[in-house]
Structure 1
Amino acid sequence: MSQHAPADETARIGTDPAAFESFYRAHITAVQHFVARRVAEPYEAADLVAEVFLAAIGSAKSYRASRGTPRNWLYGVARNVILAERRRRAREWAGASRDAGMRRLDPDDLTRAEERVDAAAGSRALYEAMDGLPRGERAVLELVALDGLDVVEAARVLGLRPGTARVRLHRARRRVGGELSTPPVMVATTGEARS
C-alpha cells in the first residue's frame, strides 16, 4: 500500500488484517522516525509507535483522502498520541511514579530503538530549539522541517489554511534561526537530504 492508497483501503485497516499489515509495512519506518524525533527514551518511543498504530486502527473510518495522504493522516494520529502521552505523563508526575507497567523489550528491539533515537539526535536538537515557539508555529515547523511535509500537507494535518501555515512557518523559522548556530541536515524517508 503506497502513501497514496485509496481512502477505502486505508479505512479498511480497522477491519481487514491483510489491509492493516500492508498499511503497517508501508508506514512503520516513517512513524518510527516521527516518534524518535520527538521522544528520547527508546522504551517510550517503541510503546508510542505501537499506540499510534492502535489509534489508527480505531480511527481508520475517519480517514478522508481529501484531507491528505494516508502518511499525513498517520502523522496527525501520531501527533495526537504523543500529545496525549505528554498530558498523561504530566498528570502522573504530579502524583505517582511512572516506572510501573513498562513493557520489556528484547535486546534486538532495544538496539534498534536506540539506533533510531541516536539517528534522530540532530532532529531533537532542532526540536529543543523550538521549545520557546508558540504551539501553532512549532507544529508547522515540526511537520515541515522534521517530517519532510510541504506547507500544504502540514496545513492539512493541522487543519489550517495553507496561507496560515506559511505565515506560521515563516515566523517559526525566523525565531528559531537565531538559536541554532548551524542548521541540521534532515534526511527525509525517501533518502534525499533536506536543510
Structure 2
Amino acid sequence: MSDDESFAAAYREHYWAVSRYVARRLDGRSSDVEEVVAEVFTVAWRRRNDLPATPLPWLYGVARHCLANAVRGYGRRRRLLDRIGNDESAHGKHIVQGPDAGSPADWVHEALARLAPSDQEVLRLTAWEELGVDEIAVALGCGSRAAAMRLHRARRRLAAEIDGLRISVAAGPATLRRDTPKEDGHG
C-alpha cells in the first residue's frame, strides 16, 4: 500500500476517533474542534510516510501537539481580553460545589481539573480513549515503562484530589472557591 493509500485509510478509519478525542478536550466547541482536527490530518498528510501500521495512537500524539498549540492561542486571546478588562470569564474564577452537592461525576471532573495537564492527559487517554499502556506510550512519545509510571502517579494524584474534596466538604462549608487548576500536579 502506498503512503497516500495508507493516509486515506487512516483518515477514513480514525477521523471520528480523533474528532472525539479533540472535542472532549475542547468541551465540544465545534468550530475549534474542526480546526484542530483539520490540523491533525494536515500534519498526518505531510508525514504520511511516517504513519505506523496502527496509526491511532500516533494520531492522538499529533492531536496532543495541535491541541497544545490551539490552547496557547486561546490563552493569548484570553490574556488580551483580561488586559482590556472586557471579559469576566477570562479571570478563570468560579464557584465549585462539593462532592455532596452533585453526582460523583461532577466531583471527579473537579478533581481531574485540579491536576496538572500532563496528569489529565494520561488519565484521559486511559479512560476516554481506552488506550493501553503501550498505546499511551506512543501517544505521549515515551517508553512503555515511563507511560505506566505516569499513569500510576496520575491515578494516585487524582485519588488524593478526590479525598481532598471530601475532606474539605466534611470540614467546612459546602462551597469551595478555586482560582485555577494546579500547574505542577504535585500539591
TM superposition score normalised by structure 1: 0.60
Say whether the 8 Å CA contact 1:52–1:78 is kept in structure 2.
yes
User: Which of residues 37, 41, 51 is equivalent to 1:53?
Assistant: 41
Distance in 2 between residues matched to 1:27 and 1:124, nearest whole Å: 29
User: Which of residues 7, 28, 36 is equivalent to 2:23?
Assistant: 36
Distance in 2 between residues matched to 1:139 and 1:27, nearest whole Å: 19
Deviation at residue 26 of structure 1 after TM alignment:
0.7
- Structure 2 unmatched ranges of 5 or more: 83-103, 166-187
RMSD: 3.1
User: Which of residues 127, 132, 153 is equivalent to 2:135?
Assistant: 153
- C-alpha distance after superposition, 1:16-55 (max 9, x if no partner): 3x55433211111111111111112122112222221112
- Change over 3 Å in CA distance of 1:167–1:21 after alignment to 2: closer
Deviation at residue 174 of structure 1 after TM alignment:
2.4
Say whether the 8 Å CA contact 1:76–1:158 is kept in structure 2.
yes
- Change over 3 Å in CA distance of 1:83–1:30 after alignment to 2: same
Distance in 2 between residues matched to 1:78 and 1:124, nearest whole Å: 26
After alignment, is 128-137 or 145-154 more displaced? Answer: 128-137
Distance in 2 between residues matched to 1:49 and 1:129, nearest whole Å: 27
- C-alpha distance after superposition, 1:118-169 (max 9, x if no partner): xxxx999866532332344333222111211101110122122222222221
* Structure-to-structure mapping, 1:1-195, within 5 angstroms: 9=2, 12=3, 16=4, 19-40=6-27, 41-65=29-53, 69-95=54-80, 129-177=111-159, 178-179=161-162
Counterpart AA for 2:18: V
Distance in 1 between residues matched to 2:126 and 2:21, nearest whole Å: 12
Say whether the 8 Å CA contact 1:31–1:75 is kept in structure 2.
yes
Q: Which residue of 1 aligns with 2:178?
A: none
Q: Which residue of 1 aligns with 2:87?
A: none
